[in-house]
């Protein structure tokens, strides 16, 4: 990974006010929520109040929206690629920068929440739940970062956010409306129950693929409780990350970076 690109990505964040505000909000919101809960319900003092690992995904979103596409829009990417640097190294260092920053932010949040819980109820120090939570956060941060890098390499400017939202929305609409139609259409065409079952299974496959793509996670806490999903979830995670990064490298290396042609 190229250290200069990572450092540059992190420093670029500092100058963007909107992102800084969102980051602060995201750090403070769970803390405020838990404080409110503690103040209103007494018995929750014994519970280790740490938020779900899902917040790592939100952190990655804040850090990673438009990493590559904003550079392409401003045109600064041409100067960077004028150096002896391969596109794959560039994409990988961007991925690492976003993932690392997001996981660091979410781990910080986790430590603060856990520290507050421990201060209020010291026996919680021996509770190792938060280690599993932290690991999940890191994994989720890097997974979501890879997805963001993929979207970011396709378009310029902040349009990748629109693309993500659009895909999510399309997926939801498809699941709610298209799926029943597909299932019933096949049945009505006389393909029989076998065809209907096939369509049901197919839509289930597409739906679960969609879910894995948008939430690439290895559920560490469940695995420690004896779940069998370790193999499947690791394969899914590796698949999502490598496929996203490969597609990003592939598309970016095909793009033309021109000056003065707009």
Partner 1 sequence: MRDVNAAAVQAGGSTCQPESASGSGIEVVNLCKTYKGGRVKAIDGLSLTVRPGEALGLVGPNGAGKTTLLGCLMGFLNYQSGTISIDGLAVDDLVTRSNVGYLPERLTFDRWMTGRDFLHYHHELSGRPHKLQEAETEELLRRVDLEPSAWSKPVRKYSRGMLQRLGFAQALIGKPRYLLLDEPASGMDPHGVLVVQELLQSLRAEGLTFLLNSHQLDQIERSCDRVAFIQKGKVIKEENLRDRESSLSHTLIIKWLLDGAPVEASAFTRVTAHCGATLEQFSPEDGLARVFVDNEEDSASLIKGLVEAGVPVTRVLPELSRLQRVFIDEMRRGEKQ
Partner 2 sequence: MARTKYKGTRKQPLLLYLVAGCSFMLASFLCVDKEFGLNITYDLSSPFRKQPPIKWRSRTQAISEAKLTRKPLLYAVLYKGDEFAYRLESDGLCQPEIYNYVNENFIPVKVPVSVQPVTDESLGKEFKGFTHQVNMDYQQSGLYVVPYRLLDASGRDIASTANLIELGATDPENVNPYGDSYGQRFEMGRSSGAFDSLGAHKPPLLVRYRDKEDLLEYLYLAKTWHTLKPTRGLVKWQPSSILNEKTSVRAQVKPRMLFLLADAGYDSDYFRLSSLHSKKLAAIINSKTRPVLVEYHPYEPALDKDIEYLKKQYGVNTLPAVILLDTKDGKPVVQRGNIYEGSLIDFIESGRNKLATDSEP
Residues near partner 1 (CB under 8 A): 2-5, 8, 11-12, 14-15, 74-76, 78-86, 89, 256-261
Q: Measured on CA atoms in the order 109, 113, 119, 125, is the torsion positive or negative?
A: negative
Residue 102 and residue 59 in contact, taking contact as beta carbons nearer than 8 Å: yes
Q: How far is the CB of 194 from partner 2 (least distance, A)?
A: 12
Q: Using the minimum distance from each CB to partner 2, give the nearer residue, 55 or 147.
A: 147
Residue 118 and residue 36 in contact, taking contact as beta carbons nearer than 8 Å: no
Q: How far is the CB of 114 from partner 1 (least distance, A)?
A: 34
With H, G, I as helix, E, B as strand and everything else as coil, classify residue 218: coil
Q: How far is the CB of 24 from partner 1 (least distance, A)?
A: 19
CA distance 30 to 49: 10
Residue 129 and residue 51 in contact, taking contact as beta carbons nearer than 8 Å: no
Which of 12, 131, 243, 251 forms a contact with partner 2 (CB under 8 A)?
243
Q: Using the minimum distance from each CB to partner 2, give the nearer residue, 82 or 188.
A: 82
Query: What residues from 48 to 107 belong to the interface with partner 2 (CB under 8 A)?
Result: 81, 84-88
CA distance 65 to 255: 19
Question: How many residues sit close enough to partner 2 to count as binding (CB under 8 A)?
Answer: 29
Q: How far is the CB of 17 from partner 2 (least distance, A)?
A: 33
Q: At CA 137, angle to CA 134 and CA 143, rounded to 5?
A: 150
CA distance 169 to 218: 24
Q: Which does 98 bind (CB under 5 to 8 A by kind): partner 1, partner 2, none?
A: none
Residue with tokens 């750090």, as numbered in its chain: 27
Phi-psi region of 226 (alpha: psi -120 to 50; beta: other; left: phi over 0): left
Q: Which two tokens stand for residue 24?
A: 């602060």
Q: Using the minimum distance from each CB to partner 2, give the nearer residue, 24 or 242.
A: 242
Instruction: Rule CB under 8 A: say whether 226 interacts with partner 2.
Output: yes
Q: How far is the CB of 114 from partner 2 (least distance, A)?
A: 21
Binding site for partner 2 (CB under 8 A): 81, 84-88, 201, 204-205, 208-209, 212, 225-229, 232, 235-236, 238-239, 242-243, 245-246, 249-250, 253
């Amino acid at each position: 990974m190229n250290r200069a690109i990572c450092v540059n990505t992190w420093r670029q964040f500092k100058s963007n006010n909107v992102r800084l505000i969102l980051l602060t909000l995201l750090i403070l919101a769970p803390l405020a929520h838990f404080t409110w809960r503690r103040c209103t319900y007494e018995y929750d003092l014994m519970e280790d109040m740490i938020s779900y690992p899902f917040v790592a995904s939100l952190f990655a979103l804040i850090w990673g929206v438009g990493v590559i596409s904003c550079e392409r829009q401003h045109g600064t990417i041409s100067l960077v690629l004028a150096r002896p640097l391969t596109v794959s190294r560039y994409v990988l260092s961007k991925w690492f920068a976003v993932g690392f920053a997001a996981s660091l932010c979410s781990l910080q949040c986790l430590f603060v929440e856990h520290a507050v819980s421990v201060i209020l109820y010291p026996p919680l120090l021996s509770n190792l739940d938060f280690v599993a939570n932290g690991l999940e956060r890191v994994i989720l941060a890097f997974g979501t970062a890879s997805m963001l890098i993929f979207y970011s390499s396709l378009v310029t400017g902040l349009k990748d956010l629109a693309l993500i939202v659009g895909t999510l929305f399309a997926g939801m609409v498809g699941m709610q409306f298209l799926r029943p139609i597909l299932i019933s259409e096949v049945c009505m065409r006389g393909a029989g129950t076998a065809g209907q079952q096939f369509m049901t299974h197919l839509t289930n496959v597409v739906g679960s693929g969609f879910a894995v793509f948008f939430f690439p996670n290895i559920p560490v806490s469940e695995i420690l409780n004896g779940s069998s999903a370790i193999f499947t979830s690791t394969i899914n995670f590796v698949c999502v990350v490598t496929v996203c990064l490969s597609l990003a490298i592939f598309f970016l290396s095909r793009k033309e970076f021109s000056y003065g042609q707009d």
